[in-house]
Structure 1
């Protein structure tokens, strides 16, 4: 569905329509990602945590580092980390240098899962690439980055 599909009685202001388009597109992309992750019993938020940890690997992160880097700032990082720990996709250990801090690291099983997921998500990206040129993608990213400032 596009913003033009939304019934409107009067002409909407361009910025409002753009905001609606962003929200609709975001929901669609998240839904497609969730469908890819579902067979692996992984939520998009859990996937985000694993990708953050893979990016830091082999260094551990603490909970506040993870929360700071998460896409969905409203997610309960503590709960997500515990669910991933129960699935053996990450470890939580007391930091040796600061006993009040917990080091969180992705496990080999977590790395292997992401390696399995990468090509599946890239297939989804191929559809996106067919619809939007590289130049358009660059421009879109620049505009969205500007909107987030």
Structure 2
């Protein structure tokens, strides 16, 4: 990370595309580190938190590993391993579907839902703190630009 920071601070003329990618990468790492540090006391990783939010969004309906994987922010996550860790923490449950024994259904537990009610406002405040240096117009413009970059 220090390498990224020093590249951005250097007086050398970097191509604008390189400077942009470095800035986005650097900002991404800083944001991920900040969110990770907020989740650490709850013994939940960013990826596990994402799985919990996905399952909460099912409103009591089951999900399966493939559906969770498709909705993950980080497509490189090992969903099976994440779910297994959340099961050990009693935050999710895995059941074999009675109609189709090959189908595995995953549900968030009451404990998982309660944990999210505690974490959500902390994450909201962290996101507000991270973006506090930008005006509403700047945030809207940044979102437009980042969306355009991804499409």
How high is the TM-score relative to the length of structure 2?
Answer: 0.90
1:6 partner SS = helix
Unaligned runs of 5+ residues in structure 1 are: none
Unaligned runs of 5+ residues in structure 2 are: none
1:131 partner SS = coil
What CA distance in whole angstroms lies between the structure 1 residues aligned with 2:24 and 2:100? 42
Q: Which residue of 1 aligns with 2:84?
A: 82
What CA distance in whole angstroms lies between the structure 2 residues aligned with 1:138 and 1:3? 25
What CA distance in whole angstroms lies between the structure 2 residues aligned with 1:100 and 1:6? 51
User: Shift of the alpha carbon at 1:97?
Assistant: 3.0
Q: Which residue of 1 aligns with 2:54?
A: 52
How high is the TM-score relative to the length of structure 1?
Answer: 0.91
Deviations 1:31-58 (A, max 9, x none): 1111111111111111111111111221
What CA distance in whole angstroms lies between the structure 2 residues aligned with 1:17 and 1:64? 36
Note the aligned Cα RMSD (angstroms). Answer: 1.9
2:35 partner SS = helix
What CA distance in whole angstroms lies between the structure 2 residues aligned with 1:96 and 1:142? 45
2:57 partner SS = helix
What CA distance in whole angstroms lies between the structure 1 residues aligned with 2:44 and 2:55? 15
Deviations 1:111-144 (A, max 9, x none): 1001000111122123134211122112111111
